[in-house]
Amino acid sequence: MKREKNNFSEEIFHTEKEGGDPEQWMLSFIDLISLLTSFFVLLYSMSVVRSEDFKEVSKSFNHALDINKNPGGSVPKEEEGLTVPKITIPPGSSLDYLYSLLYDKLVLLKVSSKVRLVRYNDRIAIVLEGDDTFEPGGVQLTGSAAEILPLIGDMLNAVPNQVEIIAGPDENMNGNPLYSSGWELAVARALTVADMLKERGYFRPINSFGRTVLSESRLSEEKYKFARRIDIVIEDKAAKNIEY
């Protein structure tokens, strides 16, 4: 009886062992992979910062830590008159159109040989030679310049663009006591040209500047003569109608 019982128990044991599911280990493996996937997804979500949420949090901190707010907790409004308005300068007329118009006008007036018209990327320059525009060492216009500048002023009256005058100095001031440097003389010459244009009815503001150059001994004669020129510059932006 014992022998048979033992044989029966061994038979049952071997049957259960041999009849188990061979793929049962995959359940534990799938659980492990699921946990790892959830873990890495959590790490990724923590590493990506959404800009909108970050701005909201930053705004909340700024409001809470604002030392300028009043005791009631609200931020005081800006006082009237302390804000600086934004100034937008509109573009002026097309420089290509103005260049063609001015060139034809200078040819018609028969002064194109005395005045050069130069086109740059963002401006047009009406160039007059300094020696032909002013008497040596001063701000007195020559006879030729006194005839040409009124004609240029009449042309510029119809130009809505910003105008600047840039004048070069004359280092040989002949002991003129009114100006201590060539730059001061250059500014005075630029203002003289601007006044001449205004006398012809030009009502928009004119910016006047003086150019500083080295002495004749430091530059060649050609470059020194070029630096003493008078530039009436027409910019690509529109001029203001109110003069300050």
Distance CA 165, CA 95 (A): 17
Give the pair of three-digit tokens for residue 15.
């049957």
| pLDDT for the residue numbered 68 | 53
| pLDDT for the residue numbered 2 | 45
Q: Quote the distance between the C-alpha of residue 35 and its chain's center.
A: 55
| pLDDT for the residue numbered 1 | 44
| pLDDT for the residue numbered 132 | 82
Helix (H) or strand (E) holding 146: helix 143-156
Name the CA radius of gyration of the chain, rounded.
43
| pLDDT for the residue numbered 243 | 43
What string of DSSP letters covers 78-135? Answer: PPTT-SPPP--PPB-S-HHHHHHHHHHHHHHTT-TTT-EEEE-SSEEEEEE-HHHHB-
Distance CA 236, CA 244 (A): 21
**Domains of the chain, with CATH numbers?**
95-238 (3.30.1330.60)
Report the length, in residues, of the chain. Answer: 244
| pLDDT for the residue numbered 213 | 65
pLDDT in tens, the chain (244 residues): 444 445 545 554 454 555 556 677 888 888 889 888 988 887 777 666 666 766 776 777 666 666 455 455 554 455 445 455 555 556 777 888 888 888 888 888 888 778 889 999 889 999 988 778 888 888 888 888 888 888 888 888 888 888 999 988 776 655 567 777 778 888 888 999 999 888 888 888 899 988 876 555 555 666 767 778 899 999 988 877 544 3
